[in-house]
Chains A and B, each alone.
Chain A
Amino acid sequence: EDQVTQSPEALRLQEGESSSLNCSYTVSGLRGLFWYRQDPGKGPEFLFTLYSAGEEKEKERLKATLTKKESFLHITAPKPEDSATYLCAVQTSGGSYIPTFGRGTSLIVHP
Chain B
Amino acid sequence: GAGVSQTPSNKVTEKGKYVELRCDPISGHTALYWYRQSLGQGPEFLIYFQGTGAADDSGLPNDRFFAVRPEGSVSTLKIQRTERGDSAVYLCASSRDENMAAEAFFGQGTRLTVV
* A contact set with B: CB distance below 8 Å: 4, 9, 32, 34, 41-46, 49, 87, 89, 91, 96-104
Q: Are B43 and A97 in contact (CB under 8 A)?
A: no
Contact at B56–A43, with CB atoms within 8 Å?
no
- B106, A32: Cβ atoms closer than 8 Å: no
Additional 7 contacts, C-beta under 8 A, given A44-B43, A101-B42: A32-B102, A41-B109, A43-B92, A46-B103, A46-B105, A97-B98, A102-B42
Q: Which of A45, A87, A91 contacts B42 (CB 8 A)?
A: A87
Q: 6 A-B pairs, CB-CB below 8 angstroms? A: A34-B102, A43-B91, A46-B104, A91-B102, A101-B42, A102-B42
Query: Whole-angstrom distance from the CB of B55 to the nearest CB of chain A?
Result: 9
B interface: dominant SS: mixed
With a cutoff of 8 Å between Cβ atoms, the chain A residues found around residue B107 in the complex are 43
Contact B102 A103 (CB under 8 A): no
Q: Quick one: closest A residue to B107, CB to CB?
A: A43
What are the residues of chain B within 8 A of A97 when measuring CB–CB? 98-102
Say whether B21 faces chain A, with CB atoms less than 8 Å apart: no
Residues on B with C-beta less than 8 A from A98 are: 33, 45, 48, 56, 59, 101
